[in-house]
Amino acid sequence: MTTNMRPVSSAALKQAVEQHLTYTLGKDAGHASVYDWRMALSFAIRDCIVEPWFRATRSTYEGQRKRVYYLSMEFLIGRTLEDAMINLGLLEAARDVANEVGFDLREIIEDEPDAALGNGGLGRLAACFLESMSTIGCPAFGYGIRYEHGLFRQRFEGGQQVETPEDWLTLPHPWEFARPESAYEIGFKGEAVDGGWRPAESVVASAYDMPVIGWQGRWANTLRLWGAKPTTLFDLERFNSGDYAAAAEPEALARTLSRVLYPDDTTYQGKELRLKQEFFLTSAALQDILRRFRTEYDDLAKLPTKVAIQMNDTHPAIAGPELIRLLTDVHGMEWSQAQEIARATLGYTNHTLLPEALERWSTWLMGNVLPRHMQIIERIDDDHRRATKRPAHVGIVRNNEVQMGELAFIMSHKVNGVSALHSDLVKKTVFHDLNEIHPGRIINQTNGVTPRRWLKLANPPLAKLISDKIGEGWIGDLEQIKTLEPFAKDADFRRDFRAAKRTNKVALSNWVGETMGVKIDPDAMFDVQIKRIHEYKRQHLNIFETIALWHNMRENPNAGWAPRVKIFGGKSAPGYAVAKEIIHLINDVAAVINNDPVTRDLLKVVYPPNYNVSMAERLIPATDLSEQISTAGKEASGTGNMKFTMNGALTIGTLDGANVEIREQVGPENFFLFGLTADEVVKRRRNVRHARDAIEASQNMQSVLQMIVEGRFSPSDPDRYHGLVDRAWNHDHYLVAADFDSYYDAQRKVDALYLDPDAWEEQAVLNTARSGFFSSDRTIRGYMADIWETESALVGEESLT
Ligand code: NBG
């Protein structure tokens, strides 16, 4: 066989792997390392994707199908090899091959670095969407930036976060195809000249394609990432005159553009380089989209019938003006038609209401970096003002700033939030006025996650148990998982369900022991909070409760406590001092608690550094209790919450984001609810004494703050947390104090249930069985029907392969 055909047997795969080892890598099997085998296996698996990928592309062209273009500054992919093997049904064959050549498949899989081209939920959502679009057969492209350095690596030094650069591209990346022939010039600065733009600087955006294979290899789409290249390599004249640094300037300028991912999550910085990155992605994508469209159709007026462009948050919101510019300045279309066409083509997803996250650029910076776009933005704004007679405080350009949210809204035919509650709040708060002017434009599409990665790949014991019971249909159609529901009452099934979880907990305990030197008991409750560190997510509420629990355990060690392991994971933005202080506190508390002989068998706190997608795959299947404790109204959706539910963890949470829908789906009796609602939060904040009142009423909360302020967890530096405690009393914007007692009490209900394994397991099974709604396949079908107006190419087809 040749390596570009899909090998079906272990023997055929082995042959393909060995060919790559020999001829692609030039390695002798006798000397091949785990890296060499990983590369050879990746190339052999990649070969298997190429055929369905070509077929999908051909079918899209032949059927003249509408394509979806998902523009996102972030794609948090994680590893690719295992995911691809699972979707192609080649995992078992690969295991055989690995064993035959004397390696463990796990070791090979774990040799792959995570592609960490994103910060958190927004980027991981984009990755789940790509996989679901391929699974469903929605013809689509993802467009992003090929950052040389993804999200920083996190270490702890003395309990404090230290960042080091991430370097996933140091070793060759076997999943990409460089496409130097697909390259576009991207301009910056210069001046707007009547009906056009003369940029002063420019770089070249050069394409790198990664195929994304769907479940069972039926369809494959492309993730196209842009790398920046200089338009001229170097200035030969300057080089010859001996000015080597200046000679290399054009190259240095270009390289910085795609060098590094901005590590801010839900905060906005206003840096010129970031605006340039956003335009770089957007302009390259739009030029590519129009080029492809024009190879098939000659009438640009038909664009919205064949093309849907989705803006993932406001980061690519310059797409409105840029599309208008390309249509008018470059293709000669008339202004109002171009505006209409752009709007009919574009959709915008809002992912946060936090005011500090809403992008706005000073008109000075926008006018300087993108002078022609600034003109276009002003004209869009004028047209809108005239057409709508909107109130004076509404508009794109306000206070000498360009509001990217308003721009994205006004240039889109649909705007969506990411959970029912969030979409509702989008209508009532950030876009209140625009919603009245354009009723019906804002809709909801509740987020989802792919069950291939988050259940089948991450949790083999549970996936096998489910498939043994109800067949494999759930993998491609998660709604089928509800047929598990009756087994919640079946004692044998509950025992097996528990055994699957225990297998994962043992594996995690071993890993924690090996990597952190902390011994944890797999029979204790694993209580997990993993996500970016942010005040609104309230990791400090969790660690305060941990301190109270520890304190009360010490006072009364024989009170029948449920043994717990509190597990934290997550990074703070490098410049976010308060979040970094919370990290420090968690690590300080862990050091004290983990060394306390009194509570040795009752409580441990672990915080493995450098949380990423691969670590999530390890932690989520081993979790008993999922912490989703944000201040109500602040977490747009959450997607980790859905992964836990699928994997049979129970949730302790507030009525925030998609928690609301999770609770509805699994049943309120199978969810630990606490805390103020979004409305109550707003009202409570009006009382300037809300924190003080709550602390004064709570003995537990007082003891916690007292212990911290006395330096109990920082004996060598007792004043360390004075600022933190002061904020808890006086600047508690996220209502930790107001929710503390309610949270503590809910945790004791968790304890009680955990001590009744049968009752716990019944609820855990129901959580998994009722998680069908949270598949990203359902989400994508929603976008296809309500926003993109496009259909699956796989309807009525058995298989493309
Ligand atoms: C995040 C929200 C999450 C949500 C993801 C995906 C940003 C700006 N927003 O709640 O905080 O789940 O987006 O929608 O990162």
94-135: per-residue pLDDT in tens? 999 999 999 999 999 999 999 999 999 999 999 999 999 999
The model's confidence at residue 453, banded by pLDDT at 50, 70 and 90, is very high
Kindly indicate the confidence band of residue 267, based on its pLDDT and cuts at 50, 70 and 90.
confident
CB 216, CB 86: distance < 8 Å: no
Here the tokens at position 306 are 């064949």
Question: How confident is the model over 294-311, as a mean pLDDT?
Answer: 98
**What is the helix (H) or strand (E) element at residue 174, kind and residue range?**
none
Q: What whole-number distance in Å separates Cα of residue 400 and Cα of residue 394?
A: 13
Q: How many CA atoms lie within 13 A of 200 on its CB side?
A: 8
Average of per-residue pLDDT values in the chain: 96
Residue at 623: amino acid letter? T
510 CB neighbour count, 10 Å cutoff: 12
- CA of 637 relative to ligand 1 center, distance in Å: 6
Burial of 189 (0-12, 13-18, 19+ CB in 10 A): middle
pLDDT greater than 60 at residue 801: no
Protein residues whose CB sits closer than 6 Å to any atom of ligand 1:
120-122, 125, 265-266, 313, 351-352, 357, 418, 447, 635-639, 657
pLDDT at 237 over 90: no
Of the residues 124, 173, 315, 351, only one is catalytic, namely 351
**Closest C-alpha among 752, 796, 591 to residue 159:** 591
* 308 and 69 Cβ atoms separated by less than 8 Å: yes
Q: What was the pLDDT predicted at 247?
A: 79
Residue to mutate, 265, 266, 311, ligand 1, most ligand atoms under 8 Å from C-beta = 266
Quickly state the pLDDT bin for 796 (edges 50, 70, 90): low
Task: Say yes or no to pLDDT of 4 above 90.
Answer: no
- Mean pLDDT over 281-285 rounds to 98
Query: Cα separations (Å) of 123 from 126, 127, 362, 403, 450?
Result: 5, 7, 26, 22, 14
531 tagged catalytic: yes
| b/e per residue 382-412 (b: at least 16 CB within 10 A) | eebeeeeebeeebbbbeeebbbbbbbbbbbb
**CA dihedral of 158, 163, 169, 173, whole degrees rounded to 10:** 60
Question: Given the DSSP bridges, would you call strands 401-403 and 397-398 parallel, antiparallel or unpaired?
Answer: antiparallel
Alpha-carbon torsion angle 771, 776, 779, 785, nearest 10 = -130
Tens of pLDDT along 631-649?
999 999 999 999 999 999 9
At residue 410, the pLDDT reads: 98
Q: Ligand 1 centre and the CA of 406: distance in Å? A: 19
What's the pLDDT at 622?
98
pLDDT score for 250: 78
Place 252 in a pLDDT band, splitting at 50, 70 and 90: confident
* Contact partners, residue 705, CB within 8 Å, separation at least 6: 544, 695, 725, 728, 729
* Across 730-757, average pLDDT: 98
**Residue 712: which pLDDT band, with cuts at 50, 70 and 90?**
very high
329-356 average pLDDT score: 97
pLDDT digits (tens, 9 = 90+) for 50-62: 999 999 999 999 9
Global pTM exceeds 0.85: yes
276 is catalytic: no
Residues 6 or more apart whose Cβ sits within 8 Å of residue 654:
628, 629, 630, 631, 632, 673, 674, 675, 676, 739
Measure the CA–CA gap between 498 and 465, rounded to whole angstroms. 11
Give the model's pLDDT for residue 251. 84
Query: For 449, which DSSP code?
Result: B
DSSP class per residue in 46-104: HHHHHHHHHHHHHHHHHTT--EEEEE-S-EEEE--HHHHHHHHT-HHHHHHHHHHTT--
